[in-house]
Amino acid sequence: MNRTLLGFIRKELIQALRDPRMKFILFVAPVVQMTIFGVAISNEVKNIRLAAFFSPQDTVLRDVYERAIHGGWFVPAGASGAVAQDPFELIRADKADAVLVAPEGGFTRALGRGNARLQLLVDATNVTQAQSIEGYIQAIVARTLAADLGALPARPPIRFDLRVLFNPSLDTAIFMVPGVMTMLMVLTTLVLTNIAIVREKELGTFEMLISAPVSRTEVILGKTLPYVVIGMTNLPLTLAVAVFVFHVPMRGSMLALVVATLAFVCTTVAMGTLISTYCDNQQQASMGGFLFMFPAIMFSGLMFPIENMPASVRWLAFIDPLAHYLSLLRNIMLKGGGAETLIRHSAALLLLALVSGAASFKRFHTTLR
């Protein structure tokens, strides 16, 4: 690495870090966002607004309702026990997420006759929540019948010996925090690289760099390597929050995590540079970064499993650097890092970095003035 390139890197780091607000954005904001997102983002279904319509003599259904409320997953909604209200209207008015309706004559009496049917109205605009509500209510009804009537369910012919691996407590944070780490890493690399280069084009200083007696390679590396350094600096900060605040395990090799992160950071910096070659001002750069990041997050496997996607669009996940890095993070931190997974996803990231870097060099030569 020659003195000219070192001078470019030093100049870029000074320019990026001389503003105290930029230091806050680069190093403090990711820790704050990591903490907030880790607490807020959860796929567990809680605080379900439940109402129930039953007579005072319907003791079993009353016990079902009270057990549901006291279990911590449901909260009261509407005036339970009041028959004057319409259960359907209660859900349509968004005053309840689920409503239990006793059969005519009461649920307790129907149990005595042997033909008990309990109606459950569920707001299915959120499909995941609706499926969880059905499962919760079925489990609560079974426990209530066992406690009140001694009515145990029939013993199934097959019993599973279930072992939950890698996340035995089923803690959502352990699954979601690596995804938050991925989003923060791409924010501090791709977006900043993109905007930093376009800002110099917009101010006219990039033309001065190009006209200087330096090579095209030195200019590009001098503008991009500092953001690789900044991106790698964020790794210990976000990792510390994940491990010590949210208790996400670190079962794999730290070296493997560093190598995977370096491959990802190089890829996002190269893509940020490529996007900047198509932009003339910071407004276009911000929009270009958003147009890349929104589908990248959707296809990363953070919001929903990649396997759930139709085969016709699933291939997009294989050219999404976020999908590869998220798989690497979860594999290294939660499972210990299988060699096959490490090699496959790291190789994909390096290939994406090479393709993006080559395209950036070509675009730089033909479009930047």
Q: Would the pLDDT of 270 be above 80?
A: yes
Mean pLDDT of 66-87: 75
Which pLDDT tens digit goes with each residue over 96-152? 888 888 888 788 888 777 777 888 888 887 777 787 888 888 888 888 888 877 765
Mean pLDDT of 209-222: 73
Q: Which of 41-45, 199-203, 304-308, 335-339 has the highest mean pLDDT?
A: 335-339
Q: Would the pLDDT of 349 be above 90?
A: yes
Can you tell me the distance from the alpha carbon of 356 to that of 297, in angstroms, rounded to the nearest whole number?
18
Q: 338 by DSSP, 3-state: which?
A: coil
Half-sphere exposure of 11 toward its Cβ, with a 13 Å CA cutoff? Answer: 14
Which pLDDT tens digit goes with each residue over 12-29? 787 777 777 777 777 787
Number of Cβ within a 10 Å radius of residue 171: 15
CA dihedral 219, 221, 222, 228 (to 10 degrees): 150
Length of the chain: 369
Tell me the sheet residues that pair with 98. 50, 122
Domain boundaries, the chain: 3-41+168-367, 48-148
Continuous segment of H or E residues that includes residue 318 = none
Structure-token match 């013993």, residue found: 155
The 8 Å CB, 24+ separation contacts for 253-259 are 253/332, 253/337, 256/332, 256/337, 256/342, 257/328, 257/329, 257/332, 257/333, 258/232, 259/346
Q: Would the pLDDT of 5 be above 60?
A: yes
Looking at residue 289, what is its pLDDT? Answer: 85
Quick one: DSSP state of residue 317?
G
* CA-closest candidate to residue 26, choices 175, 257, 221, 226: 226
DSSP codes of every residue in 22-43: HHIIIIIHHHHHHHHHHHH---
* CA-closest candidate to residue 205, choices 213, 194, 215, 197: 197
Across the chain, mean pLDDT equals 81
278 or 354, which is more confident = 354
Looking at residue 211, what is its pLDDT? Answer: 67
Q: Would the pLDDT of 336 be above 60?
A: yes
Whole-prediction pTM = 0.75
